[in-house]
Amino acid sequence: MLLRLNHHSGVPIYLQLIEQLKHAIETGALRGGDQLPTIRKLAEDLVMNPNTVARAYRELEHEGVIELRHGSGAFVPESVVSRAKVMRKAQGIVQSAMDRLASLQLSEDEIRRLVENELALLRNNESEITLD
Amino acid sequence: MLLRLNHHSGVPIYLQLIEQLKHAIETGALRGGDQLPTIRKLAEDLVMNPNTVARAYRELEHEGVIELRHGSGAFVPESVVSRAKVMRKAQGIVQSAMDRLASLQLSEDEIRRLVENELALLRNNESEITLD
DNA sequence: AGTTGTGTATTAGTCTACTAATACACTATA
DNA sequence: TATAGTGTATTAGTAGACTAATACACAACT
């Protein structure tokens, strides 16, 4: 398994870990039933605190991507296989949208704001203040 | 001009201001050549520190959306009119993509991660760590 | 020139996200 | 039931983002 981490990007390590582990599952590097590296083992290899790895694992479990067994380890459930297909489809949607946006000369921050705006609309929880 | 602000959403006020002011321009509530509300005036109306408004204005200028004239005020340059069209197009792209993603039952965080992933790919600045 | 209204800069306080240090609790196996 | 290996919980330190307090600098107008 190959993990790409960047300690100087400003992106929290635990988020990068989540992304990379998901990628490993989606590409088949990790398959249903497989056991993931131990929290301590991975923390040692990556030279970081076990809690940081634990946080990534915890969130992955919360999203249903992995399964944590207290005292035993972390495992990839069989069910994620079909989910991987969905994620690949989603990734394609995002990629084509980003490509089209990039050709419009938008900055990254502007793209992020458009996305956040749409997400907020799908949620809808705002109050109003009126000026003359 | 109507401003929608939410002090309890966790989204920084200055970012909400940026979004709302852009929206005002894109919808035509603010037109080319118009003067925006004074920093102090807007800060007073919205009951916040002038620096917070100033920050929003500063970033909007950095993005070319408004023009700051030291001692005079903040203005909407004529050039933003064509840009508004581009932004409307971009907004449409994002909206359709978000709709399709939402129908795939993705969480907001998952969508954000896909977006960040694509943005990173368009940039490309990572180092690798290999595990056995 | 003076005055008033404008944006700008500096500094500091507060809050939260992130990471780490450390101790705890569960499970498997001998 | 002992022990080694696993995930879990609590607490604290650090850094950065956000906002505010305050003083500065420029521009228009008399």
Residue B38 sits in the same domain as residue B52: yes
As a dihedral over the C-alpha atoms of residue A117, residue A120, residue A124, residue A125, rounded to 10 degrees, the angle is: -100
Asked, for residue B132, whether it belongs to a domain, the answer is no
CATH code at A33? 1.10.10.10
Asked, for residue A129, whether it belongs to a domain, the answer is no
Checking if the pLDDT of A84 tops 80, the result is no
Which range, of A42-51, A114-123, B48-57, averages the lowest pLDDT? A114-123
How does residue B123 score in pLDDT terms, banded at 50, 70 and 90?
low
Residue A66 sits in the same domain as residue A39: yes
Residue B73 sits in the same domain as residue B86: no
Query: In this predicted model, which residue has the larger pLDDT, A51 or A4?
Result: A51
Residue B87 sits in the same domain as residue B74: no
Asked, for residue A2, whether it belongs to a domain, the answer is no
Taking C1' of D28 and every protein CA, the nearest residue is: B72
DSSP-based three-state secondary structure for B11: coil
Checking if the pLDDT of A127 tops 50, the result is no
What domain range is B17 assigned to?
13-78
Model confidence over A45-68: pLDDT tens digits?
A: 999 999 999 999 999 999 889 999
Asked, for residue B6, whether it belongs to a domain, the answer is no
φ, ψ of residue B87 in degrees (nearest 5): -65, -35
Residue A32 sits in the same domain as residue A57: yes
- As for how many domains chain B has, the answer is 2
Cα B52 from chain centre: 15
Asked, for residue A104, whether it belongs to a domain, the answer is yes
| Residue B132: per-residue pLDDT | 35
Q: How far is A94 from chain B (nearest CA, A)?
A: 6
| Residue B130: per-residue pLDDT | 41
User: C19 C1' – B104 CA distance, angstroms?
Assistant: 34
Query: In this predicted model, which residue has the larger pLDDT, B33 or B118?
Result: B33
Q: Which nucleotides of C are covered by protein (CB under 7 A)?
A: 5-10, 17-22, 25-28
Q: Which long-range contacts (CB under 8 A, 24 or more apart) does A14-21 make?
A: A14/A52, A14/A53, A14/A55, A14/A56, A14/A59, A15/A56, A15/B113, A17/A52, A17/A53, A17/A56, A18/A56, A18/A59, A18/A60, A18/B113, A19/B113, A19/B117, A21/A56, A21/A60, A21/A65, A21/A66
How does residue B58 score in pLDDT terms, banded at 50, 70 and 90?
very high
| Residue A123: per-residue pLDDT | 65
Question: Is B19 in Cβ contact with A131 (below 8 Å)?
Answer: no
Measured between beta carbons, the chain A residues lying within 8 angstroms of B94 are 97, 101, 111, 114-115, 117-118
Asked if the ipTM is above 0.85, the reply is: no
Asked, for residue A87, whether it belongs to a domain, the answer is yes
Asked, for residue B7, whether it belongs to a domain, the answer is no
Residue B73 sits in the same domain as residue B17: yes
Which range, of A28-32, A115-119, B7-11, averages the lowest pLDDT? A115-119
Question: Is B97 in Cβ contact with A94 (below 8 Å)?
Answer: yes
Residue B56 sits in the same domain as residue B100: no
